[in-house]
Amino acid sequence: MRYFADKQDVVQDIFSRYPDTERGRRSALMPLLREVQNAFGYVPEENIEEIASLLGNTATEVKSVMSFYSTYHTIPTGKHHLQVCATLSCAIAGSDELWDHLVDTLGIQQGEITKDGLFSIQKVECLGSCGTAPMLQINDEGYHECVSKKRIKLLLDQFRRGEPFNPDILPPIPIHAGQQELENGLPAGGLATTLPSLVEGEA
Amino acid sequence: MTQPSSITVIVDGREVQVPAGTSAIDAVFQAGRDVPYFCSQQYLSPVGACRMCLVEAGTPRKNPDGSWILDEQGNKKIFYFPKPMASCTLGASDGMVIKTLSEGVKKAQAGMMEFTLINHPLDCPTCDKGGACELQDRAFEYGYGVSRFQFDRRHAEKHYELSEFVVLDQERCIHCKRCVRYFEEVPNQEVLDFIERGGHTFIDTIEGGLPSNFSGNITDICPVGALLDNVARFRGRNWEYDHTATTCTACSVGCSITVDARNGRLERIVGRDNPEVNEQWLCDGGRFGHPYVDDGRLTQPLIKVNGQFRPATWEEAIAAIRTGLDGVSAQQMGFFTRADITLEEGIALEAFVKQVGTPNVDHAPRHGVVVNAPAATLLDVATADAIVVIGADLSEEAPVVDLRVQEMLKGGVLPLQYDFGTAIADLRLTERMHRYRERLAVFYPTTTRMHGVADISAEMNSIQVLEHLSSVISGQYAGGAIEEAAALLKNAKKPVIILGSDVLKGGQIGLDIAAHIALSSNAKVLPIPADSNGVGLSRLEIVPQQGADLSLLGTLKAALVSRLTSIPEDFSGFLVVHETQLTEVAKRAHVVLPALTNYEKRGTTVNLEGRLLKLEPAAISSGESADLITALGAVAEALSLKAPIRGQRSAQKALKDRFGVDVADLPAQGKIVDLGRQYNARTSKYHRPEVGMWKETMLRSERLREKLGGSFNAAVAD
């Protein structure tokens, strides 16, 4: 399944951000991967090859870059991909217990999806929210913090009812001024003081 | 060329002069000191991945007024880097002070060693690399000897076949990245890379195996036992092998190799450093193509009695030959050999046929042509600023020439040579160097690997290419790739034209056109001979000047055929075959004499540049097998003659008288000698060269055929 076959404008847009040289084009690797993952929830093997041919390098190289980052998935993920932080602060605060609890309640291991297709779980390294450990990230949507068994149950039930996720905090996205827009149409990036609050309700 | 400016570096108190641009690690070795290293490799870019070559380094500094900053004693004050530095990626500067023996350095190196060994399985007793392992040696020299790591080691796949020829033990890998860099930098195939990260990193490809032709080299450069030669795996420990430094004769490049034999069996071939020929690289054919040596070898003469072969002694064989040659005149006898014999065997053959008085002598495969243009060396190829390849599938016909062309594409940067050898970390080499694809033009009737890396390429008939190229050079217009190639030749300062079998088989006309093109564009020419010693043997009178060539074998009454893979069907006379195996040709013989392979011979071979290279006999047991000199001696005895050249010494003397070169005293990297006049004669289909990397002889081995996927056939030029 070729993903970019009918998306020449997307490809053009991504390539236009980098120098038009043999080396420069290689930089488009990450956004192309992200594009595919946003569409499928993971990057299928055939799309790795597709990206390699777009960039003019080998699939091994694409796979190498991709496997370096835990945020790219080679296997399908559930509708809600729960990424449990397992680094020091969270580990001390009980991320192991949280993980075991998730494995028990959902009946899946890392790399699997629940039968209803809703959930998948993954252990990740520090997400930079040590003060609110243990915590987890849902897809790219945001953080769920100070997680307890009760909070997890509420969250999972909420997802099962089909309700949207209300993150405690949005994940920080490094962006440069003028290059991207927020969902509300405001320009992203710029000085910290001019940034609109990422957390809804706060000024 | 200007001499590169020299700088002074002080290593452990010793002053040493090195050229500007030298890396700190090379300065250390030039000063006669040592640091451990794993990731650096002479012909690869230094990356500082293993962090083993840590040293303390510092430089003097100047005041704003240009005077040196001095210490209390009035000496130049040395400002040390705040941390130990990886010397492979640190450029040496004038006045730099490097310490390799201080307590800090020892601690840093030992600590790094401990870290490297954390996840290493330490299965040295069962590891093929044991005894020849850089990690093992360095751990002994620089490690603590104990580990403080008390937890589970990383466990991973231990028998992961990257290809039929290369096995990866993921646990042993220390992530030095040599193999990954090798594939990108040397053959320009980015097929291997790190997958995952941190302690979980492993090497893998998702291209479905390693590409053929140059994959075996990663087993040589792996500093640990992670990447292993699957042909030699588990067949011997390093200290059990008899190592023989010799030359590969699988094709005409003449790569330097070390042949490792154990208990009289050839088990392994590894590359040997020769900066002027193959650097350290081999093709897969040369490296893995050896199992035939022990496969069904003839170890004593065979005589056909009532249609059946029976083993015999050499004396019985000589008697049988005497009977067979009874009543056959010299004019009705012929002597035919394969063109990979040594120069010594060649001159013995020449002297013998003169003594016998027969004009019927020939060697095959050969091209019946002479190239009247300045010859290029492999260093010329590597440092050229334009290369036009015509009619050659380089990666098959002369694979290592392909690698030298890849080097040219990277700008022809050759690592510096120091007293200790080739630079360990030449800082001019980097990862993903720019490839000057516009400097390469490739023409071949079908698409070759080279087409993919060249900016100028076309699938064209070679004679057509030459004719068009010649007319463009003479001022006409041809258009397309030809026009571009002509412009490339015209504008280059050091152009090289490489001619392959598709040109050379076409006869003298094509070669004269090629010579015309070369002379008009000041280009040097590198023709690829039909077999490994094609250049050397063409200087001897062992081509039929008046007599019968190989295709006319049928007109003779008796013949000696040495290791030829095909001879005319219509020959019905008395046949003596000198062979290593009982081949189809040998089965037709009346007497079969057991032959030595080139791994077992002492002698000299001449590669495609005209470089004389030494062959040394490896410790392989092959019974009563003998070289061509001895086989000719047997025929001489049967004819009641005393052969003029009966051994190495008389052959060497004859060569010295003939060419003025003492072949017993050749330097390790060989020597290019002008051997003078070239003899040639017309060719037939029996002279067609094998143009594939895997040769018919190699494919006699069942073990190799299995690895190549059953029914693999050697490619012969049509």
Picking from B567, B562, B566, B532, the residue whose alpha carbon sits closest to that of residue B548 is: B567
Q: Which amino acid is at A59?
A: A
Picking from B363, B370, B684, B337, the residue whose alpha carbon sits closest to that of residue B544 is: B363
Chain B residues in contact with A64 (beta carbon < 8 A): 193-195
Interface of B with A in 405-434 (CB under 8 A): 432
Which DSSP category does B293 fall into?
G
Stretch among A9-23, B373-387, B397-411, B452-466 having the lowest mean pLDDT: A9-23
Helices A45-55 and A29-40 cross at an angle (nearest 10°) of 150
Chain A residues in contact with B195 (beta carbon < 8 A): 63-64, 67
Å between B158 CA and nearest CA of chain A: 20
Q: Is B195 on the interface with A (CB under 8 A)?
A: yes
> Are A67 and B206 an interchain contact pair (Cβ–Cβ within 8 Å)?
no
- Interface confidence, given as ipTM, is 0.84
The predicted-structure confidence for B625-671, as pLDDT tens digits, reads as follows 999 999 999 999 999 999 999 999 999 999 999 999 999 999 999 99
Q: Is B452 on the interface with A (CB under 8 A)?
A: no
Whole-number Å distance between alpha carbons of B255 and B614: 11
Whole-number Å distance between alpha carbons of B399 and B387: 16
Q: Which residues contact B114 (CB under 8 A, 6 or more apart)?
A: B143, B144, B147, B148, B149
Whole-number Å distance between alpha carbons of A134 and A131: 9
Q: What is the pLDDT of residue A174?
A: 52
Q: What is the pLDDT of residue B563?
A: 95
CB atoms within 10 A of CB B609: 24
Å between B202 CA and nearest CA of chain A: 10
pLDDT band, very low/low/confident/very high, at A140 (cuts 50, 70, 90): confident
Q: Is A194 on the interface with B (CB under 8 A)?
A: no
The shortest CB-CB distance from B191 to any of A23, A45, A60 is to A60
Picking from B526, B600, B643, B554, the residue whose alpha carbon sits closest to that of residue B341 is: B600
Interface of A with B in 86-125 (CB under 8 A): none
Check: CB of residue B70 under 8 Å from CB of residue B49: no
The predicted-structure confidence for B493-515, as pLDDT tens digits, reads as follows 999 999 999 999 888 888 899 99
Residue with tokens 């097929």: B191
pTM equals 0.91
Stretch among B286-290, B361-365, B678-682 having the lowest mean pLDDT: B678-682
Q: Is A57 on the interface with B (CB under 8 A)?
A: yes
Chain B residues in contact with A58 (beta carbon < 8 A): 189-191, 207
Picking from B73, B71, B91, B72, the residue whose alpha carbon sits closest to that of residue B81 is: B91
The predicted-structure confidence for B81-122, as pLDDT tens digits, reads as follows 999 999 999 999 999 999 999 999 999 999 999 999 999 998
Tokens representing residue B657 in the block: 């008288």
Q: Is A64 on the interface with B (CB under 8 A)?
A: yes
| Helices vs. strands in chain A: H and E counts, helices first | 8, 4
Tell me the average pLDDT across A183-201. Answer: 55
Percent of chain B with pLDDT over 70: 99
The predicted-structure confidence for A82-120, as pLDDT tens digits, reads as follows 999 999 999 999 999 999 999 999 999 999 999 999 999
Q: Is B193 on the interface with A (CB under 8 A)?
A: yes
Q: What is the pLDDT of residue A191?
A: 45
Picking from B72, B73, B81, the residue whose alpha carbon sits closest to that of residue B54 is: B81
The predicted-structure confidence for B242-283, as pLDDT tens digits, reads as follows 999 999 999 999 999 999 999 999 999 999 999 999 999 999
Q: What is the pLDDT of residue A1?
A: 64
pLDDT at residue B73 greater than cutoff 80: yes
Higher pLDDT, B378 or B200: B378
The shortest CB-CB distance from B191 to any of A48, A58, A67 is to A58
Q: What is the pLDDT of residue B4?
A: 62
Q: Is B208 on the interface with A (CB under 8 A)?
A: no
The shortest CB-CB distance from A63 to any of B195, B197, B432 is to B195
Stretch among A29-33, A55-59, A198-202, B212-216 having the lowest mean pLDDT: A198-202
Whole-number Å distance between alpha carbons of B163 and B707: 9
Q: Is B198 on the interface with A (CB under 8 A)?
A: no
For chains A and B, count residue pairs whose Cβ atoms are closer than 8 Å: 33
Q: Is B192 on the interface with A (CB under 8 A)?
A: yes
Helices B462-473 and B508-520 cross at an angle (nearest 10°) of 30
Picking from B326, B377, B308, the residue whose alpha carbon sits closest to that of residue B535 is: B377
Tokens representing residue B510 in the block: 């094509």
Interface of A with B in 136-165 (CB under 8 A): none
Whole-number Å distance between alpha carbons of B404 and B381: 6
Q: What is the pLDDT of residue A45?
A: 92
pLDDT at residue B170 greater than cutoff 60: yes
Whole-number Å distance between alpha carbons of B465 and B487: 14
Tokens representing residue B208 in the block: 């479905």
> What value does the mean pLDDT of chain A take?
86
Check: CB of residue B466 under 8 Å from CB of residue B514: yes
The shortest CB-CB distance from B197 to any of A23, A63, A68 is to A68
Check: CB of residue B42 under 8 Å from CB of residue B30: no
Q: What is the pLDDT of residue A197?
A: 54
Tell me the average pLDDT across B174-196. Answer: 94
Q: Which amino acid is at B243?
A: H
> Are B432 and A23 an interchain contact pair (Cβ–Cβ within 8 Å)?
yes
Whole-number Å distance between alpha carbons of B153 and B462: 58
Q: What is the pLDDT of residue A70?
A: 87
> Are A60 and B192 an interchain contact pair (Cβ–Cβ within 8 Å)?
yes
Helices (H), B186-300: 217-221, 284-288
Q: Which residues contact B266 (CB under 8 A, 6 or more apart)?
A: B259, B260, B290, B293, B294, B599, B618, B620
Check: CB of residue B593 under 8 Å from CB of residue B631: yes
Check: CB of residue B363 under 8 Å from CB of residue B337: yes
The shortest CB-CB distance from B207 to any of A23, A59, A67 is to A59
Check: CB of residue B663 under 8 Å from CB of residue B615: no
The predicted-structure confidence for A144-166, as pLDDT tens digits, reads as follows 999 999 999 999 999 999 999 98
Tell me the average pLDDT across B360-368. Answer: 93
Beta bridge partners of B444: B459
Q: What is the pLDDT of residue B309?
A: 96
Buried-exposed string B663-701: b where 16+ CB fall within 10 A, e elsewhere: beebeeebbebebeeebeeebeebbbbbbbbbbbbbbbb
Q: Which amino acid is at B131?
A: G
Tell me the average pLDDT across B40-67. Answer: 95
Pairing mode, if any, of strands B54-60 and B386-390? unpaired
> What value does the mean pLDDT of chain B take?
94
Å between B196 CA and nearest CA of chain A: 5
Half-sphere exposure of B316 (CA within 13 A, CB side): 14
pLDDT band, very low/low/confident/very high, at A192 (cuts 50, 70, 90): very low
pLDDT band, very low/low/confident/very high, at A178 (cuts 50, 70, 90): low
Picking from B252, B253, B297, B250, the residue whose alpha carbon sits closest to that of residue B269 is: B250
Check: CB of residue A137 under 8 Å from CB of residue A80: no
Provide φ and ψ at B19, rounded to 5°: -65, 145
Check: CB of residue B47 under 8 Å from CB of residue B37: no
> Cα angle at B278 between B276 and B282, to 5 degrees?
170
Q: Which amino acid is at B646?
A: R
